[in-house]
Structure 1
Amino acid sequence: MKPRKIPMRKDVVTSEMFPKKDLVRVVKNKDGEISLDPTSKANGRGAYISLNVDNAKMAKSKKVLDKAFSMKVSDEFYDELIAYVDHQQARRELFANDSE
């Protein structure tokens, strides 16, 4: 049996390609609302950011999502994104240690 193909996506902050499961999707819907999409199944324009707190903070400082979605994104959303990425990164470290 041949190995399964791993879907890759580009991080909008660093322009590096990562496996889709190592990224968080941010989506802009038809109404212009921006939200986190942990399931990666919401309708709308998506942009991916790696699960790295430094990259999320860099996204806020460079206003990367403003450019990706061609609209102003609030600082509160960037703070929510940083908190989410921090939480996910901590979960990965915690559960990675349990599997050893």
Structure 2
Amino acid sequence: MRVKKVPLRMCVGCQEMKPKKELIRIVRTPEAEIILDATGKKSGRGAYLCPKKECLEKALKAKRLEKNLEQPISEDIINRLKVGLGYDDTN
């Protein structure tokens, strides 16, 4: 019996390769809107992130999220991402 290949993606925060299902996809849609993609199937440019607060902070500090999505990210979008990921402390 053949073993199924597990798709791996790199977290933009910690830079580790992890199974795609363990990561959260953030998408820049064709309309230039940045949203969380729970299904992993929305069209647009995507970046993957671990569900850890530290990974989001590292990705934002190093501007890796902006580079991957090829678009600057405003404070409003950052706050929406934090709320969507469950990090309520939007200070």
TM-score normalized by the length of structure 2: 0.79
Give, in whole Å, the separation in 2 of the partners of 1:64 and 1:75: 15
The structure with the larger Rg is 1
Structure 2 residue ranges without an equivalent (≥5): none
Percent of residue pairs identical: 34
Partner-residue secondary structure (3-state), 1:71 = coil
Partner-residue secondary structure (3-state), 2:2 = coil
The structure that is helix-richer by fraction is 1
Q: Segments of 4+ in structure 1 off by > 3 A?
A: 83-87
Contact 2:13 2:54 in 1 (8 A): no
Match of 2:73 in 1: 73
Q: 1:41: Cα distance to partner?
A: 0.6
Contact 2:29 2:43 in 1 (8 A): yes
Structure 1 residue ranges without an equivalent (≥5): 88-100
Q: Which residue identity lines up with residue 38 of structure 2 in the other structure?
A: P
Match of 1:60 in 2: 60
Q: 1:71: Cα distance to partner?
A: 1.7
Contact 2:12 2:55 in 1 (8 A): no
